[in-house]
Amino acid sequence: MQQLIRLPVMATLAGLLALLPGRPAAAGDRDRTPPAVAAAARAPGGVVGEAGPGAPGIPLRTLADKYHLNYEEEALSGRVRLTSGGPSLIAANGMSGVLVSGRYLALTERVRVRDGEYYVPASGLPAIEAALATASRPADAPIRHRPELGEGRDPLLRVVLDPGHGGGDPGTHGQRGQVEKEINLDVSRRVRALLVAEGITVLMTRESDRALAAQQRDNLRLRAEFANAQGAELYVSIHTNANRQRSLRGFEIYYPRDEYRRERVADAAKTTSIPPAVLGTTSAPPDAVKPVLWDALYDEYYRESRELADDVRAAMKRLPTNDRGTRAAGFYVLRWSHCPAILVEMEYVSNATGEAALARSEYRQEIARAIAAGILGFKRKFDARDRNNE
């Protein structure tokens, strides 16, 4: 497996965006923006206000006003976000397209900045307005961004289950011989069986008692890479907890902290293809656009990770143990998964009662049932939103 190991990609989003054609590095640079695009003249009369003679297109502020969107300029990345509870639009200087509610909309001309104002080409206005109107129909429906898994079939979830540890890394253990790596694998297999029975595609980072790599860090990295390479739509890592404080019992569910975003975006743009449903096409977007797309997708992934954590928690509450809640964490596998991701700590094996429960196959099945029910609950809401979106 060694040949698969890559160095972490540390390129920054700002660095990638600097590669965009026509991006002014600073305000003083802006005069270099090409002069007015003639297309302004073709702007549909009065739709969002007239573009003045010589204007490089339609000012994004005008669109923001019309659709009651907040206008937010990100000076560092040379980007503008128009947001609201409903539709959103992201544009970056020099990009020949915009993101409307997470979907990439190609334009025949580039987004321009002039005197600090962002302009979209007038020729693209009808398409942009149509996309904003469509996106504003169900007020808060998140965008569908899952890969299509088959023609003419209902969309399926592709879940990656990650049984923590394995091989030379046993994880933690209890006083009576219960070992984390073995419990994690057994419960993961049970979750898989339950999800497969519901028609969900399930992939596992390991199927047996093995490490993915000799070094711990590579091992974790490969788990996330596996999920990304497999086009995972959900990533669920399954672990068993331990603490010196032997009285602790219960489950905890972690979702990723919103951090390392720039590194994650840069990594995703290099290593992972953008789900075709985001683009509305299977052809790859221009490289310069990928970081912007991934950044927008992460907003959704963070939100959905929390939602998935809540759903699994709600199902696990039925277990005869303590509900220790959901928390944000910077776990490696969560940080590098380019999809909604959670990590479940099922129970404390360091607690005598907890270990006794974990030793019983009936209890493992109960835990598996709860985790699967949480994932299915998430899927149901997700699918319902997809239908509303169509």
Residues at the contact surface with Zn ion, assessed by CB under 5 A: 164, 171, 239
Smallest gap from residue 318 Cβ to Zn ion (A): 23
Closest to Zn ion by CB, 262 or 335:
335
Closer of 96 and 241 to Zn ion (Cβ)? 241
Residue type, 22: G
Of the pair 233, 345, the CB lying nearest Zn ion is at 345
What is each CA distance from 52 to 38, 45, 296, in whole angstroms?
A: 11, 12, 31
Size of the chain, expressed as the number of residues it contains: 390
Inter-residue contact 69 to 83 (CB < 8 Å): yes
If the CB atoms of residues 155 and 163 are measured against Zn ion, the closer one turns out to be 163
In the complex, the smallest distance separating the C-beta of residue 242 from Zn ion, rounded to whole angstroms, is 8
**Minimum distance of Zn ion from residue 210's CB (angstroms):** 15
The per-residue DSSP string of 129-168 comes to HHHHHHHTSSTTPPPP-PPP-STTS----EEEEEE--BTT
Contacts of 383 (CB under 8 A, 6+ apart): 154, 155
Least Å from the CB of residue 238 to Zn ion:
9
Q: How far is the CB of 232 from Zn ion (least distance, A)?
A: 19
Q: What are phi and psi of 321, to 5 degrees?
A: -150, 180
d(CA 384, CA 4): 38
- Closer to Zn ion by Cβ: residue 182 or 225: 182
User: Residue with CB nearest Zn ion?
Assistant: 239
- CB contact at 8 A, 94 and 23: yes
138/170 with CB nearer Zn ion: 170
Q: How far is the CB of 195 from Zn ion (least distance, A)?
A: 21
**Taking a C-beta distance cutoff of 8 angstroms, is the pair 205, 162 a contact?**
yes
